[in-house]
């Protein structure tokens, strides 16, 4: 792809936020309705593994392959390219385990807390990325608002964590079906 003609603007980030925010609201409310605290406890041990696989694939396909040259090569050293997917898998497995632990101890629906903690991590990780120069070094992102990127990341990662819950529920259901 010709990345030289692709430019992520502040407007694109805000529009993305306006798409992800209502999608997250619907998704989180649906999960809150269907995933009781007991059901969340049933999948708590699977969530870190699902998260690890999910994020390994995201980092392998998106970061190390498709967007390495236009974005991530500006933020990470070249030697890290193929180490990032397994490293991120481990990081997100640990993050999912910590989020499960917190979600089961904080008030409210654990599944909602889990997904929102994912969103919070998205913002934290993007603050780090902004600090590392992701908004100023890659030509594709130059000039876009760091604030818009960090806010967008909250909604982006909330959606990812919702998807991880759904995948985990599907894996749990499939494995339960084999036991019968």
Q: For residues 126 and 153, is the Cβ–Cβ distance under 8 A?
A: yes
Q: How far is CA 159 from the centre of its chain?
A: 7
Instruction: Please state, in angstroms and rounded to a whole number, the distance separating the CA atoms of residues 123 and 158.
Output: 10
Around Cβ 140, how many Cβ atoms within 10 Å?
18
**What pLDDT sits at residue 142?**
93
Q: For residues 63 and 72, is the Cβ–Cβ distance under 8 A?
A: yes
Domain boundaries of the chain, sorted by first residue: 44-174
Q: For residues 97 and 75, is the Cβ–Cβ distance under 8 A?
A: no
**What pLDDT sits at residue 177?**
72
**What pLDDT sits at residue 178?**
64
- pLDDT, mean of each 10-residue run, the chain (180 residues): 86 98 98 97 97 98 94 94 98 98 97 98 96 93 96 98 98 79
Whether the predicted model's global pTM rises above the 0.85 cut: yes
């Amino acid at each position: 792809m010709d990345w030289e003609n692709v430019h992520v603007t502040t407007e694109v980030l805000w529009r993305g936020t306006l798409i992800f925010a209502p999608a997250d609201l619907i998704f989180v409310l649906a999960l809150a309705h269907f995933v009781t605290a007991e059901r969340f406890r049933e999948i708590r041990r699977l969530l870190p593994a699902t998260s690890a696989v999910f994020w390994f694939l995201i980092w392998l396909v998106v970061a190390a392959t498709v967007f390495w040259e236009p974005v991530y090569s500006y933020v990470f050293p070249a030697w890290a390219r193929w180490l990032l997917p397994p490293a991120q898998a481990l990081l997100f497995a640990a993050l999912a385990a910590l989020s499960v632990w917190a979600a089961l101890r904080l008030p409210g629906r654990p599944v909602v807390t889990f997904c929102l903690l994912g969103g919070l991590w998205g913002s934290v990780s993007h603050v780090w990325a902004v600090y590392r120069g992701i908004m100023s070094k890659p030509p594709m992102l130059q000039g876009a608002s760091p604030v818009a990127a960090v806010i967008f990341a909250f909604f982006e990662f909330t959606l990812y964590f919702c998807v991880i819950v759904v995948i985990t529920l599907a894996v749990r259901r499939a494995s339960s079906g084999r036991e019968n």
